[in-house]
Amino acid sequence: MIRRAKVADAKAIQSLINHFAKEGKLLPRSLSEIYDNLRDFYIYEAQDHQVKGVCALHICWEDLAEIRSLTMVEGEGKRGMGRKLVEACLQEARQLGISRVFLLTYITSYFERAGFRVVDKSILPHKIWGDCIRCVKFPNCDETAMILDL
């Protein structure tokens, strides 16, 4: 089931994100950051009520939002839940009247299938100086910037 995150999910969200942050695949998030941005998150909850995947839509500007922190518990991929999490975020962006959604990724082919296209990171100044400056890979980012016009 895909649903909005609840306060009770915060520690599971942080644990899942930070597991992949240790591998350099996501930015680490403090529990405080998770609580501050809890309304951004969608959850994939399994039948056993465990959080098995997360994805967030973060509003950056009047016409721009970011899909961030898309991740699934290892072994839960290939079931279409990641796609459903992304779709939930895109649906919310449309409802809010946001015209563009971007992301940074290592899996461009996955997001190309969802309609995203590769762009130069230089068009994303809020992202680069907001979150990316905290990344251990900054300024030598090896992720690809992608955007979708809604």
CB under 8 Å to 96, separation ≥6 — which residues? 59, 65
Q: Are 54 and 5 in contact (CB under 8 A)?
A: yes
- Helix (H) or strand (E) segment spanning residue 14: helix 10-21
Looking at domain 2-149, its CATH architecture is 3-Layer(aba) Sandwich (3.40)
Query: pLDDT tens digits, residue range 10-61?
Result: 999 999 999 998 888 888 899 999 999 999 999 999 889 999 999 999 998 8
Mean pLDDT (whole number) for 3-9: 97
pLDDT in tens, 115-130: 999 999 888 866 555 6
The predicted model scores a pTM of 0.89
Q: How far apart are CA 15 and CA 13, in angstroms?
A: 5
Closest CA to 57 of 15, 90, 34: 90
List the beta strands (DSSP E) in the chain.
Answer: 2-4, 41-45, 51-61, 64-72, 100-105, 117-119, 144-149
